[in-house]
Structure 1
Amino acid sequence: MTLYADLRVSRGAFDLALDLTVEPGEVVALLGPNGAGKTTALRTLAGLIALDSGRITLESAVWDEPPRTFRTPDRRPIGVVFQDYLLFNHLSCLENVAFGLRARGTDKQTARLEAARWLDTVGLSDYARTRPRALSGGQAQRVALARALATNPEVLLLDEPLAALDASTTLHVRAELGQHLSRFEGRTVLVTHDPLDAMVLADRLVIIENGQVVQQGKPTEVAHRPRTDYVAQLVGLNLYRGTADGTTVTLTDGGTITLAEPASGPVHVAFPPTAVSLYLEPPSGSPRNTWPAVVTGIEQHAHTVRVRLDATPTGPADLLADITPAAVADLHLTPGQPLHPTLKATEVHTYPV
């Protein structure tokens, strides 16, 4: 049974227009900047916001179709894990997991037995009597997931499920969540702003900007072929648009880039910041892309330093280069400094607009 959602919601000047399908066993991640409409989309699926127009169906069951049909959250076969988990602090972990079952009419003993089974599944059987306030962030996340799955939902909705965790915990919990999702036979919609969460957990990405889908596909496809500046920044690529004529691309915003393989017509041009080398003087040697540029920004990124440059009018604007701290010292980098970034044509990838 396919979950189909044609979501149309207006809130003041903001309009959400999103078509979404999720197959059984599939994890779809909604990824986008703050205010893109991700959480609004999730809340419409959960029944917390009614559609202004459109339709949500699970096979033949209609969940929302204005103005005739609207199923409240308790009448939708869903499980929800919110960003802050929303566990009941006055209940034990066992009672938290059993809550959804009890709310659906399951008798107390059966609900507790099923809750205990789910706590064991997520590795927390020893915490059955523990209150949520005594749990770590990772443990609370697993209890919330167990509570959502205990009702055997057809659709699992995850709203930034790892956002409340510290960096040291996230890696472990992300791996655990991935294992649980791989065993879940229902449909999962994951809302996140973290590209790593999306890349690791999702089978398919749906990128939303300003309430609209701007790109979707498998994580590897999106990572290698971004179609907007936002997506390029997420996956760490330089991205430009232009018109190719043989091995030369004339960029839309000015400048040119030389290719190793000829292309034709409107194209996206993409390459990683690590492919850009920086020199104080124009380098000699094999032909490649070389432009005079000015340093516009310097940012520390883990073990590398990201340098922003403006190479207009002969090259691209907002050019990113990743170099080592040692290279920063050798170049004596400062904002406003003139440099000569170079890019090998073999490092440049193009694909149709």
Structure 2
Amino acid sequence: MTLYADLRVARGSFDLEVDLAIAPGEVVALLGPNGAGKSTALRTIAGLLPLDTGRIALDDETWDVPPRTFLAPEHRPIGVVFQDYLLFNHLSCLENVAFGLRARGVDKHTARTEAARWLETVGLTSYARTRPRALSGGQAQRVALARALATSPDVLLLDEPLAALDAGTTLHVRAELGQHLTRFPGRTLLVTHDPLDAMVLADRLVIIENGRVVQSGTPTDIARHPRTDYVAQLVGLNLYRGTANGTTVTLPTGGTITLAEPAQGPVHVAFPPTAVSLYPTPPTGSPRNTWPATVTSLEQHAHTVRITLDATPTGPPTLLADITPAALADLHPTPGHPLHATLKATEVTTYPV
């Protein structure tokens, strides 16, 4: 059974118009900036927020079709893991996991037995009698996941499930969560703003901005062919739109980018910041893309430094370059500092707008 969600919600000046379909065993990540409508979409599927128009259904089982049908949240076969987990602090981990089963009418003994089995599955058997306040962030996340899965839901909703974890814990918990999702036979919607969570955990990405879907596809397709500036920033690429005529792409600002392979008409142009080289003086040789540029900002990125430059009027208005700390020491760039940027034409990817 496939989950179909044609979501139409208006809240003040904000309108959400998103179509989703999630097949059994599939993990779909809903990705977008703050305020894009991710949590609104999740809340409508959960039944915490009614649709204004549209339809939510699990195959032929209708959950929400205004104004005739609305299935209350407690009657929807869903499991939810919220960003802050929402564990009951007055209950033990065992009773937290058993809660959903008890709410569905399962007797106490059976619910506790099933809860114990799920605590064993997530590696927390020894914490059965522990209260949530004594758990680490990673342990609390696993209890919340066990509680969501214990009811054997048809749909699992994950709302920023790793956002509350510290960086040292996230890597381990993300890997554990991925293993559980691989075994889960139902449909999973993962709401996140973290591209790494989406790329690692999801089979398919749906990216929304301002309440609308701007791109969807596999993680590989999204990473290789971003179609908005936001998506390009997520996957760490320089992205421009221009008009190709042979091996030259003319940008709206008047600058040009030279290609290795000819193209024609409106195109996206993309290349990684690592493909950009920086020099204090014009480089020797004949790089096919060489632009005088001005440094506008610097930012430390793990083992590299990302420099933002303005290469107008001959090149792109905003250009990202990643350099090593050693190169930074040689260049001594500061905002306003002039440099020369080069880009190999063979590093440039183009695809139709």
Check the 8 A contact 2:289/2:345 in 1, yes or no: yes
Check the 8 A contact 2:287/2:342 in 1, yes or no: no
Segments of structure 2 that go 5 or more residues without pairing to the other structure are none
Match for residue 290 of structure 1?
A: 290
Structure 2 counterpart of 1:298, which letter?
A: L
Deviation of the 1:265 alpha carbon: 0.9
Match for residue 201 of structure 1?
A: 201
Deviation of the 1:286 alpha carbon: 3.6
1:239 and 2:239 are equivalent in the alignment: yes
Match for residue 96 of structure 1?
A: 96
Match for residue 257 of structure 2?
A: 257
Match for residue 140 of structure 1?
A: 140
Cα distance in 2 for residues equivalent to 1:9 and 1:333: 48
1:156 and 2:186 are equivalent in the alignment: no
Cα distance in 2 for residues equivalent to 1:94 and 1:249: 62
Matched positions, count: 353
Structure 2 counterpart of 1:168, which letter?
A: G
Match for residue 277 of structure 1?
A: 277
Check the 8 A contact 2:51/2:66 in 1, yes or no: yes
Deviation of the 1:6 alpha carbon: 0.3
Cα distance in 1 for residues equivalent to 2:290 and 2:305: 20
Structure 2 counterpart of 1:89, which letter?
A: N
Structure 1 counterpart of 2:155, which letter?
A: V
Structure 2 counterpart of 1:125, which letter?
A: T
Deviation sequence 1:216-275 (CA, Å, 0-9, x none): 000010011100000000110000000111110011232000000111111000000000
1:23 and 2:17 are equivalent in the alignment: no
Match for residue 78 of structure 1?
A: 78
Cα distance in 1 for residues equivalent to 2:85 and 2:345: 48
Deviation sequence 1:308-350 (CA, Å, 0-9, x none): 1101111001100000111111111111111110000000000
Deviation of the 1:199 alpha carbon: 0.3
Deviation sequence 1:46-100 (CA, Å, 0-9, x none): 0000000000000110000000000110010000000000000100000000000
State the 4+ residue runs in structure 1 displaced beyond 3 angstroms.
none
Cα distance in 1 for residues equivalent to 2:54 and 2:106: 34
Cα distance in 1 for residues equivalent to 2:102 and 2:50: 26
Structure 1 counterpart of 2:201, which letter?
A: L
Match for residue 182 of structure 2?
A: 182
Cα distance in 1 for residues equivalent to 2:65 and 2:253: 44
Match for residue 312 of structure 2?
A: 312
Cα distance in 2 for residues equivalent to 1:50 and 1:343: 51
Cα distance in 1 for residues equivalent to 2:208 and 2:252: 24
Structure 2 counterpart of 1:163, which letter?
A: A
Deviation sequence 1:165-189 (CA, Å, 0-9, x none): 0000000000000000000000000
* Stretch deviating more after TM superposition (332-341 or 3-12): 332-341
Cα distance in 1 for residues equivalent to 2:114 and 2:252: 60
Q: CA RMSD in A?
A: 0.6
Cα distance in 2 for residues equivalent to 1:39 and 1:194: 14
Match for residue 169 of structure 1?
A: 169
Match for residue 214 of structure 2?
A: 214
Match for residue 266 of structure 1?
A: 266
Deviation of the 1:302 alpha carbon: 1.1
* Stretch deviating more after TM superposition (280-289 or 32-41): 280-289
Check the 8 A contact 2:308/2:319 in 1, yes or no: yes
Deviation of the 1:351 alpha carbon: 0.5
Secondary structure of residue in 2 paired with 1:62: strand
Deviation of the 1:298 alpha carbon: 1.0
Match for residue 63 of structure 1?
A: 63
Structure 2 counterpart of 1:215, which letter?
A: Q
Match for residue 109 of structure 1?
A: 109
Cα distance in 1 for residues equivalent to 2:329 and 2:125: 54
Match for residue 338 of structure 2?
A: 338
Cα distance in 2 for residues equivalent to 1:36 and 1:288: 39
Q: TM-score when scaled to structure 1?
A: 0.99
Q: TM-score when scaled to structure 2?
A: 0.99
Secondary structure of residue in 2 paired with 1:291: strand
Cα distance in 1 for residues equivalent to 2:300 and 2:243: 33
Check the 8 A contact 2:287/2:343 in 1, yes or no: no
Match for residue 125 of structure 1?
A: 125
Cα distance in 1 for residues equivalent to 2:29 and 2:319: 29
Deviation of the 1:30 alpha carbon: 0.4
Segments of structure 1 that go 5 or more residues without pairing to the other structure are none
Secondary structure of residue in 1 paired with 2:63: strand
Secondary structure of residue in 1 paired with 2:20: strand
Cα distance in 1 for residues equivalent to 2:253 and 2:202: 34
Structure 2 counterpart of 1:11, which letter?
A: R
